[in-house]
A and B are shown apart, each in its own frame.
Chain A
Amino acid sequence: MNGFLLLALVGYLVASVAIHLHVFTGSERARAAVPAITIGAAALHAVGIVLQAVQERLCPFVAAGPTIGFAGWLLALGQIALARRRQWTAAGAILLPLAFVALFYAGVTPRPDAPATAIVRDPRFSLHVLPAILGFCFLALAFGAAVLYLAEQGLLKRKRAALLFARMPPLAPLGSAAHRLAVVGFTLLTLALGSGVLWALSWPEWHRWYVEPKTLTTLIAWLVYAVYLAYNHLAGWRGRRSCYLLIAGFTMVLVAYFGVRHFWSRLPGF
């Protein structure tokens, strides 16, 4: 991890603390500081990613660590876009810690010795990975919105907190945002899966990829989102139950990406 990335990591941590300070104590100074810190950290992060790619002569998406780090950067960008509206700054309470964890993960994951296997050198790899990583980010954003929705919904149901409300995004728009983000995320995930399948078919040992736990878990995640969207369109599910599905879907995405990588994967670098 180079100096820029390290500073960005510290920036995300400080911004996460600041936004929580605002949400729970109402400190306006803390809120006012969040956009500037996030922009600074995201800028450092961008420089860090480019520098690392140049130094190692490696596209950031070929290894797991930098890919997740990049996703963290996209989440920080999402937060910057959201924080332009006062009440939506609170979304950072979920997004900024996620960005921090992503970059931290990128830093502690051992980097591959060999620059890349033949697979990742294939240009079709980018067609698979780009939608996958963007999809991951959109689904993470949808997850964040769903968590906030449930938290706020719980507060409203229990009739708790008066001013805490004023620091959170309004409920119905939060639900719609979660839905729209999930639609985009699902489309990208479908693209990633489709391009992945087509690409794998050209491999001699293609059948090995189908029984790979990662493929299966991703498929389950895709199914969860498909059920979510079907219910949304057909039965008009919008509220609490649909948020649980979004959380379940993203949990499956995390299992597909991290769990399988560390615990079950039989194919290295997949």
Chain B
Amino acid sequence: VALVLIGSSHKTAPVTLREKLVVTGKEVFDTLRTLRETARARECALLVTCNRTEIYAVTDDGEWQERLVASLARRVGLTPGQLREHLYTFEGLPVARHLFRVASGLDSLVLGEAQILGQVKEALQLARGAETAGPLLNGLFQHALAAGKRARAETEIGRGAVSVSLAAVQLARQIFGELTHRVAMVLGAGKMSAQTVRFLLDEGVSPRVLVCNRTPGRAAALAEEFGGEAVPWERFPEALARADIVISSTSAPHPVVTPDHVRAALRHRRGRPLFLIDIAVPRDVDPAVGDLDDVYLFNIDDLQQVVDRTLSERRREAQRVEAIVAEEVARFEGWLRTRAVAPTIAALQQRAEQVVAEEIARVGGKLAHLDPRDREVVQTLARAIARKLIHPPIARLRAAAAHDGFQEIEAVRRAFDLDTPAGRDGADTDAEAAG
């Protein structure tokens, strides 16, 4: 039995191909069942995000790869040969390593992005819903989620802002702490400033966003969009005293916010910080404004630098995450091995119960004079003795699993005669799933 993976992501396939591989909504359940049949797999799961489609399966079919590639090729309208160039496949433990890296955000387009952990969780839930997830994929995905959570908790891979708008929001949070009741103001208009305001509103800034535009109509329209307040252009210097976060993106050829404007506003602000985000080119805010006390001025390049620095710090953190992934893969391997001894442990317990039942049945007649309570005591005693006797070998088995002690497992099986028909466990094993 082998754990296998076939997939394609932004690293191997262009968007034109990736979009054809996306499976959504109700389609997922049917696709999962079809895939399981195609790969002749016992278990199957599908991880679909904007940038990747991956099929995880547990199969003992030697030709799973050919079958899946052919089926996928039909779906996207390519020959199997053409499609294969854009696919990657893994078998055994490398599957776990890949999924753990994915769950930790190491394989994402934006290093360390956080959504992927939820998507991995969703993939597991969908496979459970379609009843295509068995014990092995359940274990694999649970371990992946644990790896992803550790990566986020123990490293800074997911911290910081990775877009200019998010960087502005992060800076606002760093300057003001909680953003509730803080007032945002937009000077001019533009996609990026609108997006930044939306992020700020999500963070809880006062819904009374001040919107200031040279064209009163546009100011009113934008104010309506945010549920804010339009401010006449000539009155923006006064509004500066009320606003805490100012996003400026006018198309003016020269600075519109001067040190004099800000100095006048500061007099009314009683030391409250003022955060100016100048995303206009040419710049809207005179750079000298940034030298004033309690004023924090960031232009588009400054924000981009924050993003670049965050990404480079995340790249540094990625090394720590790789170490966590390695640890979690080792843990998963240990879990697989423990699973391998599970049938032996079950057989041993079954054998013990069988012996107890047989012996009690044998002496049943001789115990007839006892009242039911005493008979219960005798039975409990018999079971307790049996359990105590098999406890040390079970502990040995668990220990043996952790260090490849197959000889010890064999010894226990022979000692307790577990392979004769009476003691056969009959259950199949995933011992070789690891590789």
- Chain A residues engaging chain B, CB cutoff 8 angstroms: 26, 28-29, 152, 156-157, 159, 161-163, 165-166, 168-173, 175, 232, 235-242
Contacts and interface: CB of A to CB of B under 8 A. Distances in A.
A236 B293 CA distance: 13
Given A162-B160, A166-B156, A172-B273, 9 more contacts: A157-B290, A159-B306, A161-B309, A162-B309, A163-B160, A163-B310, A165-B170, A173-B177, A175-B271
B176 A28 contact: no
Interface of B: 153-156, 159-161, 167, 170-171, 173-178, 269-273, 290, 293-294, 296, 298, 302, 305-307, 309-310, 313, 317
Nearest to B294: A239
A214 B309 CA distance: 49
Contacts of A157: 290, 296
A239 B273 contact: yes
Contact of B271 (A165, A166, A170, A242): A242
Given A162-B313, A163-B159, A238 B296 contact: no
Indicate the member of A159, A162, A172, A239 with the most B CB atoms within 10 Å: A162
Nearest to B174: A165
A178 to B, nearest CB: 12
A26 B156 contact: yes
Contacts of B153: 28
B8 to A, nearest CB: 32
Nearest to A172: B176
Contacts of B173: 170
B154 A29 contact: yes
A244 to B, nearest CB: 11
A171 B175 contact: yes
Indicate the member of A159, A232, A242 with the most B CB atoms within 10 Å: A159
A156 B296 contact: yes
B294 A238 contact: yes
Contacts of A235: 270
A173 B155 CA distance: 26
Contact of A172 (B272, B307, B313, B317): B272
A171 B273 CA distance: 9
Question: DSSP class of A's interface residues: helix, strand, loop or mixed?
Answer: helix
Given A157-B296, A236-B271, A239-B294, A163 B174 contact: no
A159 B176 contact: no
24 contacts: A26-B156, A28-B156, A156-B171, A156-B175, A157-B290, A162-B161, A162-B167, A163-B159, A163-B310, A165-B171, A165-B174, A166-B159, A170-B177, A171-B174, A172-B175, A172-B272, A172-B273, A175-B271, A232-B271, A239-B271, A239-B273, A239-B294, A240-B293, A240-B294
Contacts of A175: 271
Contacts of A152: 174
Contacts of B177: 169-173
B160 A166 contact: yes
Given A172-B176, A240-B293, A162 B306 contact: yes
A17 B8 CA distance: 45
B293 A239 contact: yes
A194 to B, nearest CB: 30
Contact of A163 (B178, B294, B313): B313
9 A-B pairs closest in CB distance:
A238-B271, A236-B270, A170-B177, A162-B309, A173-B177, A239-B294, A162-B310, A165-B174, A163-B313
A159 to B, nearest CB: 5
B170 to A, nearest CB: 7
A13 to B, nearest CB: 24
Contact of A238 (B155, B171, B270, B307): B270
Nearest to A171: B175
Nearest to A152: B174
A168 B159 CA distance: 13
Contacts of A26: 155-156, 313, 317
Contacts of B313: 26, 162-163
B160 A171 contact: no
Contact of A159 (B154, B273, B302): B302
A172 B305 CA distance: 23
A171 B302 CA distance: 19
Nearest to B176: A172
